[in-house]
Structure 1
Amino acid sequence: MFVLVNLKAYPCDPVAVATAARDVAEESGARIAVSPQAAHLPAVAGTGVETWAQHVSPVGHGSHTGSTLAEAVADAGAVGTLLNHSENRLKLADVDGSLDAADRADLETVVCGNNPDQAAAAAALGPDAVAVEPPELIGGDDSVATADPSIVEDSAAAVAAVNDDVDLFCGAGVSTGEDVAAAAELGASGVLLASGVAKAEDPRAVLRDLVSGI
């Protein structure tokens, strides 16, 4: 079970969260990664935690002011990237282009979708994983795995029908070890979460609880 912590643009200390995630991963044997703002990638990667970018743009080297170059992300220490998060939606062609960019830079990829149909469409593009995250549950107190388990089950089936080499992750409201265990039972092999860790007074304690269900 993969736990991917997206720090978004929350006012947390990315190095402190990354250090806690590294320590909990080492002591538990769980796979935990942290996805900070692009400017914080080198500092987070420097802790030794598995580090992911929040986005890469569908561009290569050239005249692309304001873009996030996949090669620059990799040079900063990232080993993977999120794409098409509900807070940073892309056109389908741009998702495909960003996947190509990530492939050039040897980055692992997770493409987000809102529902089983979007998960299936994302799986057809061949990412490493698809994450289903209903927007209405993002940042809330109810985990998708308990509030609407059919979305996870149906997405797992939809992704497998398109490409059974693509993993299914789920997110939105995930914050406890029980949520992680429930997600696994529904067919997910990873979870995405953000506020549950980034806004926590004690991120280390939250992370320990999260992996207790693995």
Structure 2
Amino acid sequence: MFILVNLKTYPCDPVAVADAVAAVDETTDARVAVAPQAAHLERVAETGAETWAQHVDPIDYGSNTGHTLAETAADAGAVGTLINHSEHRLKLADVDGSVRAADRAGLETVVCANNPAQIGAAAALGPDAVAVEPPALIGTGTPVSQADPEVVEGAVDAARNVDEDVAVLCGAGISTGDDVVAAADLGSEGVLLASGVAKADDPKAALEDLVDPL
């Protein structure tokens, strides 16, 4: 099971969360990673935690002020990147371009989408994984795996029908180990979450709760 903690731009200590991720990752068969802001990638990667970028742009080296180059994220220690998160939507051509840029830099990719139909389209672009995240549930503490399990099952079917090698993750409202187990029971190979760890008083304890039932 892959557990990817997105720190968004929450006012948390990214290094402290990364230390917790690294510590918990050593105690479980689950794969635990963290996605900090671009400016924090290098510091987070230095903790030994598996580090992901929150986004890379569909660009190459050149005149691209204000963009995130995939190679720069990789040089800072990222091993993968989210693409098309609901808080950073892209046009389909740009999603494709970002996947190609990430591949060029040797980054794993998780392309986010709102629903099974979009998951099918995302899977056709050849990412390593897709993640279904209904926007209405993000940050609510109500997990999609329980509130709308048909969305997860539909996403798994949609991706499988396009490319069986593309893994399916789910996100939105994930905060407990029971949520992770429910996601796995629906066919998800991992989860995305943010506030459940990033806003926790004790990120390590929150992560331990997530992996304990696995």
TM norm. shorter chain > 0.5: yes
2:101 equivalent to 1:101: yes
**Cα distance in 2, alignment partners of residues 126 and 187 from structure 1:** 19
1:59-74 aligned at under 5 Å gives the runs 59-74=59-74
Corresponding residue for residue 147 of structure 1: 147
Corresponding residue for residue 6 of structure 1: 6
Could you state the TM-score of these two structures normalised by the residue count of structure 2? Answer: 0.99
**Cα distance in 1, alignment partners of residues 29 and 179 from structure 2:** 19
Equivalenced residues, count: 214
Compute the displacement of 1:29 (Å): 3.2
1:106-160 CA distance string (max 9 Å, x none): 0000000000000000000000000000000000021000000000001100100
Corresponding residue for residue 184 of structure 1: 184
Q: Percent identity?
A: 69
Q: CA RMSD in A?
A: 0.5
1:15-94 aligned at under 5 Å gives the runs 15-94=15-94
Structure 1 unaligned runs (5+)? none
**Cα distance in 1, alignment partners of residues 95 and 172 from structure 2:** 21
1:22-79 CA distance string (max 9 Å, x none): 0001022321000000000000000000000000000000000011000000000000
Structure 2 unaligned runs (5+)? none
After the TM superposition, list the runs of 4 or more consecutive aligned residues in structure 1 that deviate by more than 3 angstroms: none
Corresponding residue for residue 168 of structure 2: 168
**Cα distance in 2, alignment partners of residues 42 and 30 from structure 1:** 23
Query: Match of 2:198, as an amino acid?
Result: A
Q: Secondary structure at the match of 1:42?
A: helix
**Cα distance in 1, alignment partners of residues 21 and 118 from structure 2:** 30
2:98 equivalent to 1:110: no
Could you state the TM-score of these two structures normalised by the residue count of structure 1? Answer: 0.99
**Cα distance in 1, alignment partners of residues 180 and 54 from structure 2:** 21
Corresponding residue for residue 130 of structure 1: 130
**Cα distance in 1, alignment partners of residues 213 and 156 from structure 2:** 20
Compute the displacement of 1:93 (Å): 0.3
Query: Match of 1:122, as an amino acid?
Result: A
Query: Match of 2:15, as an amino acid?
Result: V
Compute the displacement of 1:213 (Å): 2.5
Q: Secondary structure at the match of 1:131?
A: strand
**Cα distance in 1, alignment partners of residues 172 and 209 from structure 2:** 17
